[in-house]
Structure 1
Amino acid sequence: MSQAYPNDIPYPPVFHREMTPVWIDAVLRGLGQEGPDLAGAFRWCELGCGPGLNAVVTAAAHPAAHVTAIDLNAAHLARARAWAEAAGLPNLETVQAGFTELAEAPPDRFGPFDVIVTHGVLSWIAPAEREALLRFIGRFLRPGGVVYAHYMTHPGMSAAAAGQRLARRVAARAEGGPVERARAALAFQARLAAGGAGFFVAHPQERHRLEASRRQDPAALAHELLPAHWEPFHVAEIIEVLGRQGCRYLGSATPLDNIDAVSLPAGTLPLLAGLDDPALAETVRDMARNQSLRRDLYRSGGAPLPAGRHWQALAELPLALLPAAPRRGPLRFDTPIGPVQGEAALFDPLLAALRRGPCRVGDLARHGAHPAQLNQAVQMLIWSGCAHPVRSPLPDPQAAWRLNRALCASGVGWLAAPALGSALPVAPELMPAVAALLEAAGPEATAPELATPERLRDNLRAWRAFGALPPEG
């Protein structure tokens, strides 16, 4: 990355479920697209991995996979390697390089990759580096491989671009390191808003964004405000530039965004009728939602699954209920267009079946839902955190337990859950008890002093079932 990017401060470890192979596979099944083959030695690459939390979780959950984590920041990669060594992950490769260097790598240096993901990068780097990143994808993504691309987008971030330019200029005149300069920039903007600046009057969402930024992790805030080349993109631009690398747009890694009926104002739905140009249709959707960020999925070549194979792929998807699922009462989804009530006749039988244990979508179809309706219901359950796709059979959890001990020691509020191919959040107040349970790994794990907090009891069964913690002795 360029010197205009704040490389002198590490980015905090943040986990993104949408980047995991299991999640991507589930969403692609819902979209009627062929997902990556996760049964064997697939290759997964993250461009701009930060401290590597997503990469080490993926490596721990997929022992047969080869995971490549790439970043320019040496401190980031040192942390990723430390976690990998503590967990004993021979399948994680870390690479310190800039995107221009990567794009010019010898043909046999990388890949071909089945999945390439990049989060928090495209909107934050210089145009030349962005072009190099895209060339890397074009060179090292295998035919049929999948790309996950996260970036900030218009129109939701159009006004924010003006605020970021101001923040960067104010920060350049402030004293101290990146965190102090970012805080000075926010403080200046807060005074501007309090003074009645017309920008914040005309764009009230920017006042809310400013207030939220002041509660953000200071290191993350510096990375958000200080890059010289930060910019949002129109979705059509990204569809075009990835198209030049042989990648076609598939849909969003955020399942809600693939269901127009629950993500768009009802009055805008007729305007999408007959739009067969994906770039135009997605632009209309972004305008209808006032979309501020995107998590796009692309594939190198390929075609949608025929109807019969689409249903077969979806029917074979195994799901498990998560602790966030409601125990009783109506199911409500809080969407960008407001609360949406889950139809009891559709969702109650699905939740009841999943409460009895993990099952495949094909088994859920026995409750009478039409396949298209069931597909949308499953994607809503996954998006809302009520359910998650599961791996079968469960991979050896030993590496995940070792990784989780290292994550607890680092104060990272996530636990690798190999049965999910993902990670589960842990509240800070529960971390000491979780660390003790990981150390005990036997009959001592049921000690009364560790089982007392109600929230811990509520989560223990799921954490153990999904391989994040050892089973009870």
Structure 2
Amino acid sequence: MTDWTAGYMADIPYIYGYYSELNPLFVQLAFLNAGLALPQNGTACELGFGQGVSINMHAAASTTRWYGNDFNPSQAAFAQELAAASGAGADLSDEAFEEFCKRPDLPDFDYISMHGIWSWISDANRTIIVDFVRRKLKVGGVLYVSYNTQPGWAAMVPMRDLLSEYSEVMDAPGHGVAARIDNALDFADRLMATDPVYARQMPQVAKNLANMKSHERSYLAHEYFNRDWHPMSFSRMAKWLAPAKLEYACPAKYLDHVESIDLTPAQQQFLNEIPSTALRETTRDFMTGQTFRRDYWVKGKRTLSAFDQAEALRRHRVMLVTPRDRVVLQATGSVKAAGLAPQVYQPILDFLAGHQPRSIGQIEAAVRDAGVVFPLLVQALMVLAGKRDLVTVQDEQVTAAAKPRCEKLNEALIAKARGANVVGSLASPVTGGGIPVGRFEQLFLLARQQGQNSPQEWARFVWTVLAAQGQRLSKDGRPLESAEENIAQLGELAETFSERDLPILKALGVAS
């Protein structure tokens, strides 16, 4: 029998995550901050879309035509179910990379994305993907790729290989994947208890193992237990992508644009003396101990003049999506946390507190009297966007076209929330992508859709859903047993949702 998995962990489903960096709209602020010309955005492709949450939200919440593949049929089926619910027309298949990338019916793409998969596939599949990008990415098009990097994983590579080897050699084939992972972690704990020299040389490994136990087994299976698992340096990634005529554009992680957050002045000066982009980025990863890079690459890099960059930035629209009083004036990078100057951030946040779309030019005019100059404003907005307090907003015409599809997709996702916490995001036609919305909040929205008007009615509605399944809430680590306790706790959550979250979801087009 042919092994269609090619060594990939396919007998346990991947997590139902949403990744905003996959959103083509997310490219805009990153490119403008880097002084780069913006790409077109008519056709897009996601390779290895997992459960298809991101690609379906991006298809529903935009006018972009989306294509994608994931060779796991159960994951592709879930993705196709969501596509049918929204009616966005995304072309989603269960083809492997070799089959999908050779399809003659695929258009050329403005944007190609892949999240994480680069680290978990063979060199043969990497070659297929690079050739696909070479042939199918338009001139001026953007590739988003994220992958495990060497400096942050150096200590853990031997332990990962040991865990994988134990799972393959010692566990019976009939054991489930979750049990095999638990057994491998137990083996690692027993090894560490013997005080091996490796543990003394690499003290962070013990912390990594402890952290692994808190993750979902579906995440660990795909992150640690695939046959292929290759952390890669930036320099090597650049060599892989060179045949596709790609140049490094900028980080997709916004906080990496603000080097003062993670790097000391001496480190910044050291990096600035390195003329090679590949060597500079590789060296930077050593400074930050980077474990996972998120990067944009472009075919045909074009730099804007300082004038054109400033004008494009002033036209760019954003919206505050965190309640004003809950924005923390601190940003946490890869290495450390940095305080944010109140005299800069407070005027910006005060102007955006109404959660309405504003152009950067409008914000500039509003904060000018507070002494916030334009370069400082742009940096502050990058930080707020990197903290996910701020999002880019798309054109009103696109928002209007996407709204009906988002409503249909969100109805399907909220219906799933009745049984379990499946997808923790909903689609926003304003942002062109997903917005975090927890299970209880989704159920409160469902109660509103069914005519329940007050937070207390929402709480009782949600309790009927939970009670029918024998589910309970907890408070301060203690399960709540009585119906009265559960309804009271849900009532508090519903009141908070009504006062704090619902107005923002309305502004984002997620709630009516």
TM-score range, shorter chain: over 0.9
Show the counterpart of 2:123. 127
CA distance in 2, matches of 1:104, 1:385: 37
What amino acid maps onto 2:171 in structure 1? A
Is 1:9 matched up with 2:12? yes
Pair 459,194 (structure 1): closer, same or farther in 2 beyond 3 Å: farther
CA distance in 2, matches of 1:83, 1:104: 25
Task: Return the offset for 1:444.
Answer: 4.0
Which residue of structure 2 lines up, in the alignment, with residue 343 of structure 1? 341
Per the alignment, do residues 273 and 89 of structure 1 end up closer, same or farther by CA in structure 2, a change over 3 Å counting?
closer
CA deviation after TM superposition for structure 1 residue 253, in Å:
0.4
Describe how 1:176-187 pairs up with structure 2 within 5 A: 176-187=175-186
What CA distance in whole angstroms lies between the structure 1 residues aligned with 2:131 and 2:5?
Answer: 17
Q: Is the 8 A contact 1:60 1:416 kept in 2?
A: yes
Greater mean alpha carbon deviation, residues 234-243 or residues 389-398: 389-398
Q: In the alignment, what sits opposite 1:168?
A: 164
Match of 2:503 among 440, 461, 472: 461
C-alpha separation in 2, matches of 1:466 and 1:159: 43
Instruction: Please tell me whether the aligned partners of residues 40 and 141 of structure 2 are also in contact (alpha carbons under 8 angstroms).
Output: no
State the secondary structure of the residue aligned to 1:379: helix
Q: 1:130 to 1:326 in 2, by over 3 A?
A: farther
Give the Cα separation in 1 of the matches to 2:444 and 2:190.
Answer: 43
CA shift for structure 1 position 194: 3.2
Partner of 2:311, secondary structure, is helix
Matched, 1:435 2:441: no
Q: Deviations over 1:163-219 (max 9, x none)?
A: 111111011121312222122212211222233233233223222221121111111
The CA deviation at 1:447 is 6.0
Provide the rounded CA distance (Å) in 1 between the counterparts of 2:436 and 2:331: 20
8 A contact 1:182–1:225 mirrored in 2: no
Q: Normalized against structure 1, the TM-score is what?
A: 0.92
Indicate the SS of the match to 1:190: helix
Match of 2:155 among 142, 156, 159: 159
TM-superposed deviation, 1:446: 4.7
Query: In the alignment, is the contact (CA less than 8 A) between 1:43 and 1:65 conserved in 2?
Result: yes
Distance in 1, matches of 2:68 and 2:162, equals: 33
Is the CA contact (8 Å cut-off) linking 1:23 and 1:389 kept in structure 2? yes
Alpha-carbon distance change, 190 to 429 in structure 1, aligned in 2, over 3 angstroms: farther
1:60 and 2:67 aligned: no
Of structures 1 and 2, the larger Rg is shown by 2
Distance 1:395 1:196, change over 3 A: farther
CA distance in 2, matches of 1:287, 1:346: 31
1:93-242 aligned within 5 A: 93-106=91-104, 109-172=105-168, 173-175=170-172, 176-242=175-241
Shift of 1:462: 0.9
**What are the superposed Cα offsets for residues 295-353 of structure 1, whole Å, 9 maximum, x if unpaired?**
0100011311111111112111111111255447x711122332211112211111111
Distance 1:16 1:324 in 2: 22
Corresponding position of 1:359: 358
Does 2:458 match 1:450?
A: yes
Cα deviation, 1:45-74, whole Å, max 9, x if unaligned, reads 100001100011001101x22111211111
Aligned 1:219-368 pairs, distance under 5 A: 219-323=218-322, 325-327=324-326, 331-356=329-354, 357-366=356-365, 367-368=367-368
Residue of structure 2 equivalent to 1:374: 377
Alpha-carbon distance in structure 1 between the residues aligned to 2:54 and 2:438: 18
> How many Å separate the matches in 2 of 1:188 and 1:34?
52
- Which residue is equivalent to 1:424? 435
CA contact (8 A) 1:102 1:136 kept: no
CA distance in 2, matches of 1:111, 1:265: 45
In the alignment, is the contact (CA less than 8 A) between 1:69 and 1:95 conserved in 2? yes
CA positional deviation for 1:161:
1.4
CA distance in 2, matches of 1:435, 1:93: 29
Letter in 2 for 1:306: S
Deviation (angstroms), 1:401: 1.8
1:37/1:395 CA distance change after superposition, 3 Å: farther
Deviates more, 1:446-455 or 1:376-385: 446-455
C-alpha separation in 1, matches of 2:501 and 2:258: 30
- 1:455 partner letter: T
What pairs up with 1:15-54 in 2 under 5 angstroms?
15-38=18-41, 42-54=42-54
1:408–1:209 Cα change, 3 Å = farther
Partners of 2:25 and 2:361 lie apart in 1 by: 18
Distance 1:310 1:156 in 2: 34
Identity of aligned pairs, percent?
Answer: 27
Residue type of the alignment partner of 2:95: A
Q: How far apart in 2 are the matches of 1:164 and 1:334? A: 27
CA distance in 2, matches of 1:292, 1:379: 22
8 A contact 2:455–2:495 mirrored in 1: no
What's the secondary structure of 1:395's corresponding residue? helix
User: For the residues of structure 2 that align with 1:418 and 1:193, how far apart are their CA atoms?
Assistant: 50
Aligned to 2:389: 386
The CA distance in 2 between the partners of 1:23 and 1:77, in whole Å, is 25
Q: Which runs of 5+ in 1 are unaligned?
A: none
129-138 or 422-431, larger mean C-alpha shift: 422-431
Does the CA contact (< 8 Å) of 1:265 and 1:288 recur in 2? Answer: no
